A and B are shown apart, each in its own frame.
Chain A
Amino acid sequence: MEPVNERALLERCRAGDESAFQELVDRYKGLVFALIARTVQDRSRAEDLAQEVFLRVHRGLPYFRGEARLSTWIYRIVANVCVQDSSRPATVSLDDERAAPVVPSASDRQFGDFELRDRLEKAIARLPANYRLLIAAHYLDGVQYEDLAAALALPLGTVKTQLYRAKQQLRRMLETDLK
């Protein structure tokens, strides 16, 4: 969004214009929902958390000074919400995962994309929350390393290093699964 439009939209939101806030939700819901759904991997929980993000945006609007871009501020809220959610007791699906690890059958032992995709989702669920978020965000259109660095308040180099480590962990998990 252009900075001028963004400022105007924020001003309208601050003035209590509900249609402006609706516009803001419509503009960012795809990004926010995709990020969270990829991180928590449970659609209903993802919707709840995405709504929580917009609730926090609404509450925080009077205090948002516009020093950062609106999208950066929203990424930061998404990161906080995801990290807080990950500190909750483990979900049933994760418990199930731990109780009954997937044992690959002989015919499954190929590193084909189809199997890989299925295993990938399970492996991502086992990553630490900050790595899950990085993996989720990096592969969304329009999200740059710079956006992530600003949102997570980390140097650009650290973001890249953490992303490589996350992918390295994923690769090792997938290799271990296939052994």
Chain B
Amino acid sequence: MFCDEALDAVEAIAGGDLTADGRIAEHLATCPNCASALVRARQLERVLQRRGVPQPPPQFTARTLARVRRARWRSDQFLDVGFNLAVILIVVAVFGGVWMLLNRTGLVAVTTDAADLFGSAFVTLVRRVAPSLPLYAGAAALLASALGLWWWAERDAAL
């Protein structure tokens, strides 16, 4: 038995996973260096066993749940943005496709005439509506404020 072998075993002996018997016990009884290592390994084992257990702060659960909710909200927002972008892309693709189809079939000329017709109708409508424009703008602003408040309240609730 050499010191290297005995020194490799002292942690297992100190931890109670190995019993010092036979050659190891013989060596430990005759080698002061290895015997001292075993004493220190046992002291270390004792101190490690008595090491304090850190406790989480009192608000740990609440703070963890708040963090989980925030992360989920961010993930939901990310999904929403992705979904909206996908919808916009689909709408653009559909309109682009319809326009290309109309262009190929020569219906664009007809749609141009239709657009002119709608344009002149729109101009007439604007001229009639113009005097009441401040009233409509006020109503639109009121609606926008209400929607904004609703969105803000929903966001706070999600947090």
Contact = CB atoms under 8 A, between A and B. Distances in A.
Interface string B37-81: 100110111111111011111001101110110011000000000
Contact of B11 (A21, A38, A140, A171): A171
A34 B45 CA distance: 18
B148 interface: no
B17 interface: yes
Interface in A22-37: 22, 25-26, 29-30, 33-34, 37
B53 A140 contact: yes
Interface string A139-179: 11100000000000000000010011001101100110000
B158 to A, nearest CB: 13
Task: Give the bracket for the number of chain B residues in contact with chain A.
Answer: 20 to 34
B13 to A, nearest CB: 10
B61 A50 contact: no
Contact of A25 (B15, B47, B48, B61): B61
A106 to B, nearest CB: 20
Nearest to B72: A58
How would you classify the secondary structure of chain B's contact residues: helix, strand, loop or mixed?
helix
A59 to B, nearest CB: 8
Contacts of A33: 54-56, 60
B12 interface: yes
A129 interface: no
Nearest to A53: B64
B62 to A, nearest CB: 9
Interface in B1-38: 7-8, 10-12, 14-15, 17, 37
A160 B17 contact: yes
B44 A120 contact: yes
Given A58-B68, A170-B44, A171-B44, 4 more contacts: A30-B56, A33-B56, A164-B12, A167-B15
Among all A-B residue pairs, the 8 with the closest Cβ atoms: A37-B54, A33-B56, A164-B11, A167-B11, A51-B64, A29-B56, A54-B64, A34-B53
12 contacts: A25-B64, A26-B61, A29-B56, A47-B60, A50-B64, A54-B64, A58-B72, A113-B43, A116-B44, A117-B47, A120-B47, A168-B10
Interface of B: 7-8, 10-12, 14-15, 17, 37, 40-41, 43-51, 53-57, 60-61, 63-65, 67-68, 71-72
